[in-house]
Amino acid sequence: MLSSRADKLKRLDDDGDNGDDDNDDDDDDDDDHDDDDDDDDDGDDDNDDDDEMMMVFVMMMMMMMMMMMMMMMMMMV
């Protein structure tokens, strides 16, 4: 009687953890969520696009300064 009940329970619990029901069977992700973090910065989510935009901004400012300096030199001549 007891063995048939144990067999029945074993069939119901077929996740292979020998009755250890702490939900190991549905916790197969390691919860570090680095599958959606594909920017190769080791989980540092500070948007590398901002760095790129800052670089573009600095380059544009430098070009504007050079143009202004050239204009001033032309005015002096």
Instruction: Quick: pLDDT tens for 11-68.
Output: 655 566 666 656 555 555 555 555 555 556 566 666 667 888 999 999 999 999 999 9
Token readout for 12 is: 């119901």
Inter-residue contact 25 to 17 (CB < 8 Å): yes
Q: Which amino acid is at 24?
A: D
Give the pLDDT score at 51.
86
CA contacts within 13 A on the Cβ side of 25: 9
Instruction: Quick: pLDDT tens for 52-76.
Output: 899 999 999 999 999 999 999 999 9
**pTM of the entire structure?**
0.37
CA distance 31 to 24: 13
